[in-house]
Amino acid sequence: MAPREFPTNAGGLCQKGWTSASLLDHPERLTTPLLHGSPVSWDHALDHVARRLTGLRAAYGPDAVAVFGGGGLTNEKAYLLGKFARVALGTSQVDYNGRFCMSSAAAAGNRAFGVDRGLPFPVTDLDQADVVVLAGANVAETMPPLLSHLHGAKQVVIDPRYSATARQAVEAGGLHLRPAPGTDLALALGMLHVAVAEGYLDRSYVDARTTGFEAAWRAAAPWWPERAERVCGVSVAEQREVVRLLATSARRYLLTARGVEQHAHGVDTVSAWINLALALGLPGVPGSGFGTITGQGNGQGGREHGQKADQLPGYRSISDDAAREHVASVWGVPAASLPGPGRSAVELLGALGRPDGPRALLVFGANPVVSAPDSAAVARRLKSLDLLVVADPFPSETARLADVVLPVTQWAEEDGTMTNLEGRVLRRRRALAPPPGVRTDLEVLAGLALRLGPRPDGVPVPADAFPTRPEAAFDELRRASAGGLADYSGISYPRLESGEALHWPCPSPDHPGTPRLFTDRFAHPDGLARLVPVEYAGPAESVDEEYPLWATTGRVLAHYQSGAQTRRVAELVAVAPGSFVEVHPDTARRAGLSDGEAARVVSRRGAALAVVRCAPEARLDTVFLPFHFAAEQAANLVTNPALDPISRMPEFKACAVRLESA
């Protein structure tokens, strides 16, 4: 298929994509393993890591060693990383940075629909939409190619910021709703109240395809729109207009993203939006739908195959006996030898160095020193470890703290597969050989597993347990995922290379894949979707006289995630050289600050340096920080590590701060 024929992005790239090739021969590229900062051979580095891991496991048990992965890893790497943790190391302590990104939407989707897939329909379905509501999404900066599918629709953007997406929507005749940070749940409850009280409830759909409506309505009934307005600041008129648009348009979609997820009650917030979508009859109906926009490069596939603390491949629960038996049989080990669920990402990082916590950490595809909340505390804990090993193409902020750094390949130097936001599995082909001295993550895992040898508990590790060929790893992933919610067993490299569009589940070699879920039934045993009653709760901390402003974080167009790569691209740095704090001019003036001045954004956890950027459209009570920058500019020096009780996602989108002159 020619690039321009590819339906998701028609071959289009954002500026991060245009410039990514400059990183392949970047002068800071790592090409030699480092031990305490000094170059060593691969054998020396891997021998050292294996020896230290063996000693720590023998002295403190298997959970003394932890693994931290990333949502940008290929499916093959994510799969083998989870297997390495549970089979080679025998540890339950494995999680990944996707916990910061999609976990609340995944949990809400699973309990409502029985399965989590970002978009349960092809993205091209949006081309014909009459109205698209984007709740907590800034796709103009985070996923620009998606905009090409939205141009024909009336767009409604729900975001405390007047983001680039909100600006585009308003200029095209759409709407921008600006709830106060952390109040999206109140807004969704108020809009469900409008839908029911004003006669927009799709009763036939609700009766035929859902269960739980009455309980969900009892929770929403006290949230008349006037009450919701007092809490979130969105007017009754705006609430009514958005509900009217969603209820009366022929082709209508409601999409959520990180803005409604990254809260201490993010799962309930996503559930509230799902309840609204179900009440209006959107999910599973041709020409309409509900979905979640995925964040990282392999944000969908990266969470399906076992690098998450509570999951096994195929989106199976690690606590399910049948799932354990199936996966263990593929892996050639006893099911009883697989550990149970471990700590989630923030809890795992918080336990590092504690007497009851891991004493060693292996990091693949992540930079938690920048990406984790309360990042100064994370850096202190990483420094306290007996062993920190980081596999990375560059000396990231986390790699600079490591005892051992292992140089690994980049995107153009390796084969593999990725799964996009619509559940479509994509073939990544190697375009060029990696620099001499660089290995793939699969080769690193295989080399470590070989050196670790038999487990201390006597469980044999099969000699061929960690293939280094991506296709061999994928073929094993297919068998491990067979029968699971995310069933890849019918997908193969030859089918992908022939140009077939294969969306999971794809349970057999002659199955065409499933581009549209829920057209006939949802994934629960009875085929019905669940409306879940949710109660309003605000942010985990409050503003007061000392910290009178809300801070929210997010992305900018020029950078990506922790910025470990994009901050090394000259063209991108020229556009966005450092952090800024977006603030209303009156709010800046009250803090004694002016546009372009250096400021400190101070929370109860720490302070971040940023340049003041006055924005007349900003809320008077809210400031915005991009999270791509490091050291004293890191936004996560101030963010709150409070966790959602279900997803364990941290509250990146609402923390109390004050502004000071720097």
Task: Check residue 1 and give its pLDDT.
Answer: 66
Distant-in-sequence contacts of 512-520, Cβ < 8 A, 24+ apart: 514/423, 515/121, 515/122, 515/422, 515/423, 515/424, 516/120, 516/121, 516/122, 516/125, 517/113, 517/115, 517/117, 517/120, 517/121, 517/284, 517/423, 518/113, 518/120, 518/283, 518/284, 519/284, 519/286, 520/284
The span from the CA of 190 to the CA of 279, in Å, is 13
Q: In this structure, are residues 276 and 220 in contact, taking their beta carbons and an 8 Å threshold?
A: no
| Cα-trace Rg, the chain | 24
Q: Which residues of 424-436 are buried (b: 16+ CB within 10 A; e: fewer)?
A: bbbbbeeeeebbe
Give the torsion through C-alpha atoms of 423, 261, 537, 161, to 10 deg: -130
Task: Check residue 301 and give its pLDDT.
Answer: 87
The span from the CA of 496 to the CA of 502, in Å, is 7
Q: What is the DSSP string of 194-245?
A: HHHHTT---HHHHHHHEE-HHHHHHHHTT--HHHHHHHH---HHHHHHHHHH
The span from the CA of 584 to the CA of 593, in Å, is 11
The gap from C-alpha 369 to its chain's centroid, in whole angstroms, comes to 17
Cβ neighbours around 330 below 10 Å, total: 17
How far is the CA of 308 from the CAs of 84, 99, 371, 405, in angstroms? 13, 8, 17, 23
The gap from C-alpha 298 to its chain's centroid, in whole angstroms, comes to 9
User: Token pair of 557, please?
Assistant: 């167009």
With CA atoms as reference, report the closest residue to 534 among 221, 206, 232, 312.
221
Domains 27-99+300-468 and 549-661 fall in the same CATH topology: no
Q: In this structure, are residues 492 and 427 in contact, taking their beta carbons and an 8 Å threshold?
A: no
Task: Check residue 14 and give its pLDDT.
Answer: 82
| Sole residue written with tokens 């025998």 | 90
User: Token pair of 490, please?
Assistant: 């019918």
Q: Would you list the domain boundaries of the chain?
A: 27-99+300-468, 119-293, 549-661
What CATH number belongs to 549-661?
A: 2.40.40.20
The DSSP symbol for 464 reads T
Q: What is the DSSP string of 405-457?
A: EE-B--GGG--EEEE-TTSBEEEE---SPPPTT-B-HHHHHHHHHHHH-S-TT
Q: 10-residue block means of pLDDT along the chain (662 residues)? A: 74 82 93 98 98 96 97 96 98 95 93 96 96 96 90 96 96 97 97 98 98 98 98 98 98 96 96 98 96 85 92 96 97 96 97 95 97 94 98 97 98 95 94 96 97 88 93 98 97 95 97 97 98 97 97 92 89 93 98 97 97 97 95 96 96 97 94
Q: What class has domain 119-293? A: alpha beta
With CA atoms as reference, report the closest residue to 165 among 139, 128, 135.
139
With CA atoms as reference, report the closest residue to 17 among 395, 557, 574, 628.
557
Contacts of 408 by beta carbon, 8 Å cutoff, 6+ apart: 364, 391, 392, 393, 438, 439, 440, 441, 444
Furthest-apart CA pair in the chain: how many Å?
71
Task: Check residue 328 and give its pLDDT.
Answer: 97
**pTM for the full model?**
0.96
Task: Check residue 117 and give its pLDDT.
Answer: 94
The architecture of the domain spanning 27-99+300-468 is: 3-Layer(aba) Sandwich (3.40)
Task: Check residue 10 and give its pLDDT.
Answer: 74
Task: Check residue 405 and give its pLDDT.
Answer: 98
User: Token pair of 201, please?
Assistant: 């409830």
